[in-house]
Structures are given as C-alpha cells and as structure tokens.
Amino acid sequence: MATAERRVVVTQRYFDQATIDYLNENNCEVDIIDLPKGKADGNLTPDELKSLLAGARGWIVGHAHITRELLQDLPNLAVISRRGVGYERVDVIAVRDLGRVITIAAGGNDASVADHTIGLMLAVGRRLREMQNRMQAGDWTILVSSDLNRKTVGLIGLGRIGRSVVQRLKGFNCRILVNSPHPDADYARNENVTFCDVETILRESDYISLHAPLVAATRNLIDEKAIALMKPTAIVINTARGGLVDDCVLLQALKDGRLAGAGLDVYLSESDKSLADVTAELIALPNVVATPHSAASSLEGLARTNMVAARSVVAVLDGGDPPETCVIADGRTRPR
C-alpha cells in the first residue's frame, strides 16, 4: 500500500501509466506536478521547488537546479532521479555530503537521441526546411542538396548515444572519425571507425556531431577557432548540451556562409536567458533545423527513461542500490 513516507514527486511531463503503476506497486505515493504550459521544472524557483517537494522521499526531475541550499531545506528527500543523462545542474558534492543519492536514466534515451541526430543530419543536408518553406510560398524551384551517403562524419564524444549513432551511420557507408578520452582499438577495428584528435575531425568532417558531456574542458568547444578549421560545406549537429557551442559565433558563421548549416536541439539560452535573441536568430535561419531539446522525447524513449528513473527511486527507498551505471553520487555510506 502506497504511503506518504514513500511519496515520490514527479516534475516532468509525459509520465506514462505503466511507470506510475510500477511505483504504486512498490508502495510509492506518486505526486505528478501539473506545471503550467510552457513552464518546465528548470524554470521553478527554489521556493517553488521547496513547496512542491516538502516531505517527499523521492524526486523524478528534469532540468531543475539542485543546490546545496535546496537539499538542506528538504531533509526527507533521499533520492533524486534524473529522467535524462546530464547532471551539470546538480551540486553533486552537496548530494554526497548530505547523504543523498542522485541517479540518471542511463541507457533509456540512447536510441531516441541517436535517431534524432541522424534525422537532423538528413534534414539539414537535404535542405528539407528550405524547400518546404519555399513550396509554401509558391516557389517549387528545386534546391540542390547533399547526401549523407559516403560522407565523413566526425563524432566528438563516444558514450552510449555516440555509439548508437555509429551503428546508424553504417547504413550510410560513412567514414566515421571519433574523438574520445578513451580510444578503444578493439572498438575501432570492429566498428570500422578512426579515433583521432578534435582538430582532425574539424578539418576533415562533412558533418560534426557533438556527444560530449558539458564540463569545463568542453565548454565552448565549437568556438571561432574551431569553426575556422571547418570546411565551408560542413554541417554542425548538437543534440548534447548547449554550452558545447558558442551560439553567437555559430550564428555569425552561418550568416556569413562559413558553414553550410546546423541541426540544433540544445541552446546556450536554456541556461542563459540573455541569449534568447541569439537563439531566435539561429532558428530563423533557413539553413538551420531546430528542435526544442526534444531529441529524447519519443514515446518510446520517454517510457524507457521514466522506468529507469522509477527503478532507481524504488531501489533507494527499499535500502538497496540502483544500477551502477545510473549512480552519479551516493552519500549514504559517507560519514556525516
């Protein structure tokens, strides 16, 4: 029987019934927050979050900022489970210091984001947006576009999503260049990819797709210097994190014709609202195909990540351990 002592707050939309049933079957009281249209949990103030989470033991969260102060004001909160894989908005040290657990939904959205990445490559390369816009205006002139087939594709980052993209690119007979902190000779041989430095990827790739985490070393990875190395026919794809790309520089390069196009699912303005006008200009360009941080949001992908997040919550509330690949920090064993 569900109890208030096992109250789990969900601040994400599209939480499916099967996952709700799973939580209920494991004696959790599920409280799904009905956020106003256009507002996500990343827009909630600390006071709003404290009010919604008062007394909760588990929290299934999207992009809210999880600070030391917030956690200190929520002493009952045992586990924070991200329905996603990034955690740059989480004070991981505070989670550990305060004896809490933070998990991610590892493996839940790999296929969805990889599909989306290939979709953006095709849409930008084949100029689908430009042609549809012209047709709607009555102009059926054929625009010459570019194949993905047999192109050189550079992937910066080779985690679960990057490896899923490699699998999909095989069907396009691409030459695949990869940059990763952990080059793997067996993987390179088995998957017919080439590990190389970032500069080589920038110089030689027709498509450059970002799959790295956002850390100090990768922030503004695509900046003026990086773009200067790229072919003018190159296309940049970002389904990872907005901070990997200097959007102001990207915007100017696209307007100047120094790049052929971009496929974007993430933006600097998600974390810095002062850049909203830059994002607006980017998504208005005819050679940009843009989506609203939705790469993981297929019905199937959401169902998978919901369940991964829920299983982590139940594991912690039961006194057990979530899957090792999902755990970012576990402070339960840390002396306090």
The rounded distance, in Å, linking the Cα atoms of 137 and 132 is: 9
Sign of CA dihedral 181, 187, 191, 196: positive
The strand pairing partners of 192, in sequence order, are: none
CB within 8 Å of 157: residues ≥ 6 apart: 179, 180, 210, 211, 212, 213, 240
- Supply the DSSP symbol for 36: P
Backbone angles phi and psi of 32, in degrees to 5: -90, 120
Backbone angles phi and psi of 135, in degrees to 5: -60, -40
Coil vs helix vs strand at 163: helix
Q: Which of 293, 311, 324, 332 is catalytic?
A: 293
The rounded distance, in Å, linking the Cα atoms of 95 and 68 is: 7
The strand pairing partners of 222, in sequence order, are: 245
Indicate if 182 belongs to the active site.
no
The strand pairing partners of 91, in sequence order, are: none
**Tally: H helices and E strands in the chain:** 13, 13
The rounded distance, in Å, linking the Cα atoms of 222 and 227 is: 7
Indicate if 270 belongs to the active site.
yes
Coil vs helix vs strand at 206: coil
Q: Which of 83, 241, 304, 311 is catalytic?
A: 241
Q: Which of 29, 130, 204, 270 is catalytic?
A: 270
Residues assigned a catalytic role: 241, 270, 293
